[in-house]
Structures are given as structure tokens and as C-alpha cells.
Structure 1
Amino acid sequence: MTKTIAIIGSGFSSLAASCYLSQQGNKVTIYEKNESIGGRARQFKKDGFTFDMGPSWYWMPDVFEKFFSDFGKNTSDYYELIKLNPAYRVYFGINDFINIYDNIDAIKTTFEGIEKGSGSKLEAFIHQAKSNYDIAIKDLVYRPGVSPLELITPQTALKLNQFFGTVSSDIRKKFKNERLIQILEFPVLFLGAKPTKTPSFYNFMNYADFGLGTWHPKTGMFDVVRGIEKLAIELGVTIETNASIEKIIVENKTATGIIINGKTIKADIIVSGADYQHTETLLDETHRCYSAKYWESRIFAPSSLLFFVGFNKKIENITHHALFFDVDFNQHAADIYDDPKWPEAPLFYANFPSKTDASAAPNGMESGFFLIPLAPGIKDTEELREEYFEKIITRFEELTQQKIRNNIIFKRSFCKNDFVADYNAYKGNAYGMANTLLQTAFLRPKLKSKKVRNLFFTGQLTVPGPGVPPALISGKLVAELIHQSLRS
């Protein structure tokens, strides 16, 4: 029987859920508060420059392929992918950087040249990471987090010890060079927690990095948003923008509709891909599953200070993706997780999409995206934003041996206050809830409300966690739960 389903938000998880739910034969409408779809993965254009506003790393291409194959399609039916080589560069000082190339043999050679014997150690480490990846991505993450028994399989039983060690301790047992250690610790930052707090099992992210490589959709990550939007529309999904949700209507403990811009929209089922904590504020308090105290006690992934910058010349000595680890990695992590404050000396990330995609900037110019991870809930002012822009641009000029400050045509900043205003993000978080041991799988907020029938959730605050591939998986999981609930 066809059901009317209203989906709140149009990020990756919502778009994915809409495709699966429509494929099941339901009448599905997405309601997005902003004027553009994509959630955190929106696109920003100005004066001939184009920027992805959120995710910019295309990892785990197999997850994207699996998503489209569920509808008899391929990613190539919707967008073109380019494998980056080098995948990225990591700066540690002036004329001191390491390139991570697009194949494991080249990466082994790089490691061996820095620390004798590390090439063979890396091969063994990545072999273990691939084993974990096969278990996690091909099995565990496609489970809905309903029961702890989901984690108990013959494969995970053999790796039980890896849920109690940490990624950092495992890496440090094998490698001694601090630069190599930081490169190997970097991928788990996508999970939103310190490497010293992330279970060893999550070293599968190193296979996602070195084994599967770093890709770039031809004109940016928004190509993927457009691709899934096109698929959704082909499947019959309706999308409405500028549709701000004011209330979720509950009658007899059952969700029956939503109020949008003062208008009541009836629906048989409500799915929220918006911020989980914010979504529950759209309910009367008696219908909420998680208290303010609960949210306060959770470990959230960082917020970010972002800059979108247009340059009137080509930038030299830089790759598409670049990480600047020339300051104390551990101190910056402590400033995010242990004693939340603005870091005195921040690590930062720079992305120059016009190095790969000529259409991202006018001819002879460059588009640059800079990101500083910050503690969620931190004070955010224009003065602080400017202070930190000066910090990173000064270091960027020193480390890449060039002057660029006077070549800036424009810049736009985006920080904690904007994450709250545009995405209703709890404490202005950028990546959701961290995947620590006590916030994994069934220990995360549930896909299905325990107090309100026909109310479901999807996205980075629920199962399986932060990141674009997990968001696609989350959309599939919630659609499967809904399908099961309709059959029961």
C-alpha cells in the first residue's frame, strides 16, 4: 500500500532515503529549509568561482557504486570521476612535505625513504585495514543499530581485541617517524574523534585512503548531489526548497504531519535527515527520546572555520588537497576535545579544486577552500575569523614559498554560527557525533523513534555515523526499517 512520506532536509542521507522509499512505491516529498538542496554539501558560486561548501573528499567509491547499483545504475550514469595523483600533500615545514600518491606501491616507497623498514610494515598494516574494511563496509555498517548482537559475527569475534585498543596505539607500535604516524592517524579524523580515542578496528579508514584512493567528481562533490537528485526525480520524488519545518504533528503518539511556513502537510510517515537534536525540538517535550543532558554528554565531531577564497592568479607549489601539519597535532586535538578553545596554532586543510577542474575558477585564476577544525560550541566572532585567516595565510605563504595575500579577489567565511543558522547543527558541529567506542552502532541515537510511531531519523547523528558514504548507507537503513514497519 502506497504511503505518503515527508522527508525533512536534503542532505545525502535524505536524498538516499528518498530514492529507496520511492522505489518501494511510496509517494515521497523532500522539504528543504534552504534555497538549495544538498545540506552541508551545498555549492557556492561567485564571480565565476565555484566551491563545494562542505564535503570535498570522495573516498570509498565502492559505497557510491553500491548505492547506484541498488537502482540498476552506475555512478558513471550521473557523474564522472577523476582519480587524484597525488591524492594529497602533507606539509610539515618549509620545503618539507610528503606526497601521498595514488597507489600503495608508491606510498610504500615514500614511507621506506623516510623510515627504513616501514614499507613492509605499511603493507602488513594496510592488509589488516583491508580485512577490517571488508567486514565493516560490506557488512557491519549496513545494520540498523537496533541490537548489540548486530556486532557479533564470526569475523568480528576474531577481531574483538581491536575494539578495545586504539588506532593511535596500534600505529605507534609499528612506526616511529612522527610524520608517518600523523599521516596514518589523519584518516580517522573523518570519524570525528581523536586517534587516541578511536577503536583500532577503525583503521579500515587507512585502506579507504591508501587502498581505494582519493577521487574527485569532475566539477566537484555537488555533482554527486545533482546525480542523486536526478535519480530521485526519475524515481518520482518531489523536492521542495525554502520549506522551513516549524513543528512535527503528533496525534495519539503517532506522527501525522509537519507544519511548514505555517502550512500543515499531512503524511503517513516522517523521516528527518536534519540535525537529530534539532528535530526533537520540533516535538513536544514528552515525545522526545533524548534529553538536553543526553546531548550535552555526547562527544561531538568538530565544528569548522571555513574560508572560500577567489585568487586572481594561479597558486604554485600546491596540490588539489593539502594538509598543513607544521604545528603540534596533539595540542590542536586537545584544544578541540579536552579543553575546548580556539587553538593557538591550528592545523588546517586547503583544497584547490581548480587544480583539477578548470571550470572552478576563471581562466588564469584559482579557487581556494581553507578549513580549520574547531571545538563545537566555541565562541564565534568576525574578529576571530579574521585573526585566524591571517594566521593560516601567513603560514601558507611561508610553507609554499609565495605571496598570495594581495591576490585575493574575495573571501567568504563560514563558521559555528553559520552551521547553527543554516543547518540547525547542535553546537555548530560540522560532522555530527564522533564514532568513539561508546558511540558506535547500537549506542548511537536510533533510526526509529521509541516514543512516536511513524517517526524516523537518518544522517550523521544516527547509524552508522559521520561522512558521505555512511550518510548514503544511513538513508538505505532507515528506508529498510520503514519497509519492515509497513509490512508488520
Structure 2
Amino acid sequence: MKKKVSIIGSGFSSLSASCYLAQAGYEVEIFEKNSTIGGRARQLKKDGFTFDIGPTWYWMPDVFERFFADFNTTPKEFYELIKLSPAYKVYFSKEESITIGDTLEKIYAAFEEIEEGSSKKLKKFIDKAKDNYDIAIKDLVYRPGVSPLELITPKTATKLNQFFSTIAKEVRKEFKNEKLIQVLEFPVLFLGAKPSDTPAFYSFMNFADFGLGTWHPKGGMYQVILGLEKLATSLGVKIRLNASAEKILVNDKEEATGIISEGKEYPADVVLSGADYHHTETLLDQKYRQYSEQYWDNKTFAPSSLLFYVAFDKKIKNVEHHTLFFDVDFKAHAKAIYDTAEWPEEPLFYASFPSKTDHNIAPEGKEAAIFLIPLAPGLKDEQSLRERYFEKIITRFEKITDQNISNYVIFKESFCVNDFVKEYNSYKGNAYGLANTLLQTAFLRPKLKSKKVKSLYFTGQLTVPGPGVPPALISGKLVAELIKKHNH
């Protein structure tokens, strides 16, 4: 008899795990509460426009290649990748911006233009970041976060000081120009913590950014989800939609024995949840929960976001596919997210125009736009506030890019804290999971395997290795390996 695994949720990590488990001979069934798969990486289609609701950046292509190679295939069997040139643009004001090109040479030149002599420093910084990337992404992140010893290898032993210094310190050692500092600190925001709280070792994100480039899957990030679904179903995975998990069943021997979905019992030998970790534990009786409410409350969560999906009745000028607006005080916004947890007075924001690269995403002569403002999780979220912030960013956008766009809105939809809670059962409406601070790195993160219930496992951005799409794929692999080890 094949062993049966029930998986809660169908985001990147769940789909990844389902493929590895099916390949290993388990009978795998996914339960997804929403009407489409993908977890946070869903898509909104309306009037000929297509928007990725969740992730919009495709970084670390090598991680995706490594994933598909495990199944003797390649990403290009499932979707087409376009390398963005330039990768993105950052505005500091109407007059000042930097364009991050698609090669290191172009990026060195752009730095040199802003600060003479900075390209030499950047080269040194990126060499170190590449070294960290090789250690982290080729080795460390593929360890299950079970013990602190996983972090101690002959290679990391030489890097220990980097776990106790921070990105902010390392960047400031080399660079004096505030603008260049911001560009180098920006990728860390994907890890969900302030640069001053993120270990210097994570500079490997700068190599991911500058060294490996930014890509776009044709048709949007959702094509990657569809690729994973195709792979999973070809391996025999079953997927149920509109199938919310209501309870995880545990027997007298403290073993997970299945789940209840939509009032019906589904027995299983192993239960794996890719849903929000805190939410998953509420599906268990109190005595089987590993982490208290206080534990979650004391954790540093990555930000939530206020997102807008906007259809414009014209082409938008002076922007790239990905454009960042750093024309206000970076520190004040970071403080509002991480220290005081309030709505920022003047937020930094990010805008994406996938229709610049991909003509199937908007009707001809029109533009699909996604705007994102990072926010503290757990904020009061009301329609009137969303509107006010839309006005704020559009006013600044028009001034900086020198054009009127507000009169050309065909429609707009928004997504914020309340939606993250409602759609994904996300703790405090966080968007990216748990931040990668020193005390929340590797074995210090919530565990992949339950300490209290046998054959119950977790995967995704609240556990190992952390937030982001590539780490989610890796998380699926790690948990599948633990399941195989303990339940063969």
C-alpha cells in the first residue's frame, strides 16, 4: 500500500513538496481553500488585463533550474523566461535616478556615475556576495534547520563574523553615498527585516540581484505555478479546490491521521501544511500546538503590503518594467514598519508594468500596473485609508515621471492586510512570512517537523529557509526529505 500524504494549501512550497513526495512513491492529495491554486501567487484577469496578485520578481533562476532538474526536466519545458533589460530603475527624485542594467558592467558604470570610485568598491562587495551566494544557495539553504551544527561547515567557519555584523554596517563601510546605500540595501527588504537587523551574510541577495539578474516568465509569475501544477499532476498528485482544511486529526498515539475538509474526513499517513504556520496550529487541539500566541506575538514578521492592480487606458512613460520610488525618507518608512507599526507618513513604493515586457498582459495601447507599499503587519485596514494612499503615491508618481495618469484609470483593485487574512489565513495579514533576522535564521525558525505530533509537517515562508519564491521551492524539497526519512 502506498503511504498517503494530505497537503494543506497549494502555494510554491506545497506544490514543490507534492512533486518530491509523488516522485518518491507517496499518494499525494492537495487541499486548497481558494478556487484557484498558487496560494499567494494567484492571478487577476479582467477585461483583457492580467495581474500577478502575489510575487512579481523572478530572481535566482538557478534555484528553479535545480528544482526542475530533480525531475529530469527544465523550466523552459513549462514556461518561457525573458531576462529584463534593464532589470529595474530607482527614482530618488524627479532629477535623480539609477538604472540597474542587465550586466555587472552596466551596473558598475551606473554606480560610477553617481559616485566616482564606487565601481571598484562595488566589484569587491559583489565578489564577497557571490562567495556567500555559493555557500548559502548551493549548500546551506538545502539543510533542514534541525540543528545549529548545519550552519558550521569549513566554508562558513570563515564567515562567522558576517552573522554578527549587519548588511547596513557592511554596506556603509564601503559606500558613503546615501543613494547607492539604498540600492544595496533594497534586496534585503525581500527578506523582511531592516538592513540594520539583517546579518551581513545575507549580502548574497545582492549577488542574486546584480549578478544573476531579474527575469520575467512570459504570461506572468503564475505561469510558474501552472508549470508546477503540470509537473505535479503528471507525477500523480491530486488537487482539490474550494477545499478548506478545518481540522487536523490526531489519534491517541499523538500521530496525525488525516484532516477534515468541508465537513468530511480524509484519512492520511502524513499531514503536511503549506498554509500559514500559526493558522495551521489552530487546526489542532491546544495540547498539540508547539508555539503559544505569545511566541508568535514576539516574532519579527516580514511586512504586509498595500497593493493596487490598475488598468490604464494609455501607455506609461519614463518607467521600466520594475520601478522603485525612493524619493522619501527610507529610515522613516522602515521605522513605521518595524518599530512603531503604524501607517507611514510618506511611503516608499514599488511599481511594476509587466505589459512593458509582455504584450499579452494588456490590450494594445494600454498598460497593466501593480503598485506596492510595504506596511507593518496587523495594521487597521480600511477602504478610506487605501484610497488615501493611492492618491499619495499617484501624485508623487505623476510629479516624478512627469505625466498625468490618474485620469486614465480604467479600473483598479486593491489588496491589503484584511485580504491577506481572509484569503490566506495569514498571521496579522503579513505578506512575506517571518523576517530573516539573526535570531530567526535557520534552526531558530519554526520547525518543519512538529515536535508534538508525529507525522505532522510544515513548509513555506514561516519555516526554513525563509521568505521568497526560491526559498519556498527549497522548503518543499527539505520537508519532503524529512518525510521520506521518518515515514518510509
- TM-score, length basis structure 1: 0.99
**Cα distance in 1 for residues equivalent to 2:2 and 2:459:** 21
Identity over aligned pairs, percent: 69
Q: Amino acid of the residue matched to residue 359 of structure 2?
A: A
Q: Amino acid of the residue matched to residue 89 of structure 1?
A: K
**Cα distance in 2 for residues equivalent to 1:479 and 1:122:** 39
Partner residue of 1:225?
225
| Deviations 1:373-430, CA, capped at 9 Å, x for gaps | 0000001000000000000000000010000001000000000000000000000000
| Deviations 1:22-43, CA, capped at 9 Å, x for gaps | 0000110111000010000001
**Cα distance in 2 for residues equivalent to 1:246 and 1:230:** 27
Q: How does 1:242-253 map to 2 (within 5 A)?
A: 242-252=242-252, 253=254
Partner residue of 1:37?
37
Q: Amino acid of the residue matched to residue 478 of structure 2?
A: L
**Cα distance in 2 for residues equivalent to 1:462 and 1:283:** 18
Q: How does 1:290-309 map to 2 (within 5 A)?
A: 290-309=291-310
| Deviations 1:170-221, CA, capped at 9 Å, x for gaps | 0011011111000000001100000000000000000000000000001110
Partner residue of 2:167?
167
Give the Å deviation of 1:91: 0.5
Give the Å deviation of 1:97: 1.1
**Cα distance in 2 for residues equivalent to 1:58 and 1:5:** 30
Give the Å deviation of 1:114: 1.1
Q: Amino acid of the residue matched to residue 297 of structure 2?
A: E
Secondary structure in structure 1 of the residue aligned to 2:37? coil
Q: Which stretches of structure 1, 4 residues or longer, exceed 2 Å deviation after superposition? A: none
Give the Å deviation of 1:486: 1.8
Q: Does 1:9 align with 2:6?
A: no
| Deviations 1:238-286, CA, capped at 9 Å, x for gaps | 1110001110011121110111110111111000000000000000000
Partner residue of 1:201?
201
CA root-mean-square deviation: 0.6
Give the Å deviation of 1:290: 0.3
Q: Does 1:239 align with 2:208?
A: no
Q: Does 1:464 align with 2:473?
A: no
Give the Å deviation of 1:13: 0.1
- Asked if the contact 2:187/2:206 (under 8 Å) is kept, the reply is yes
Partner residue of 1:455?
456
Partner residue of 2:82?
82
Q: Amino acid of the residue matched to residue 24 of structure 1?
A: A
Partner residue of 1:59?
59
Secondary structure in structure 2 of the residue aligned to 1:358? coil
**Cα distance in 1 for residues equivalent to 2:210 and 2:405:** 31
Q: Amino acid of the residue matched to residue 150 of structure 2?
A: E
Task: Return 5+ residue gaps in structure 2 as ranges.
Answer: none
Q: Does 1:184 align with 2:193?
A: no
Partner residue of 2:19?
19
**Cα distance in 1 for residues equivalent to 2:100 and 2:391:** 28
**Cα distance in 2 for residues equivalent to 1:362 and 1:109:** 36
**Cα distance in 1 for residues equivalent to 2:38 and 2:129:** 31
**Cα distance in 1 for residues equivalent to 2:256 and 2:310:** 44
**Cα distance in 1 for residues equivalent to 2:467 and 2:179:** 26
Partner residue of 1:136?
136
Q: Does 1:367 align with 2:363?
A: no
**Cα distance in 1 for residues equivalent to 2:258 and 2:91:** 51
**Cα distance in 2 for residues equivalent to 1:283 and 1:216:** 39
Q: Amino acid of the residue matched to residue 151 of structure 1?
A: L
Give the Å deviation of 1:305: 0.2
Q: Does 1:321 align with 2:345?
A: no
Partner residue of 1:344?
345
- Asked if the contact 2:43/2:50 (under 8 Å) is kept, the reply is yes
Partner residue of 2:429?
428
Q: Amino acid of the residue matched to residue 272 of structure 1?
A: S
Q: Amino acid of the residue matched to residue 127 of structure 2?
A: H
Q: Amino acid of the residue matched to residue 475 of structure 2?
A: S
Partner residue of 2:93?
93
Partner residue of 1:280?
281
Give the Å deviation of 1:2: 1.8
Q: Amino acid of the residue matched to residue 301 of structure 1?
A: A
- TM-score, length basis structure 2: 0.99
Give the Å deviation of 1:234: 0.7
**Cα distance in 1 for residues equivalent to 2:176 and 2:199:** 20
**Cα distance in 1 for residues equivalent to 2:198 and 2:146:** 22
**Cα distance in 1 for residues equivalent to 2:159 and 2:196:** 18
- Asked if the contact 2:455/2:487 (under 8 Å) is kept, the reply is no
**Cα distance in 2 for residues equivalent to 1:86 and 1:458:** 34
Q: Amino acid of the residue matched to residue 429 of structure 2?
A: G
Give the Å deviation of 1:300: 0.1
Give the Å deviation of 1:81: 0.3
Partner residue of 2:145?
145
Task: Return 5+ residue gaps in structure 1 as ranges.
Answer: none
**Cα distance in 1 for residues equivalent to 2:479 and 2:336:** 35
Give the Å deviation of 1:95: 2.8
Give the Å deviation of 1:166: 0.3
**Cα distance in 2 for residues equivalent to 1:292 and 1:145:** 22
| Deviations 1:338-379, CA, capped at 9 Å, x for gaps | 111000000000000000111111111000000000000001
**Cα distance in 2 for residues equivalent to 1:110 and 1:363:** 32
Partner residue of 2:400?
399
**Cα distance in 2 for residues equivalent to 1:106 and 1:411:** 35
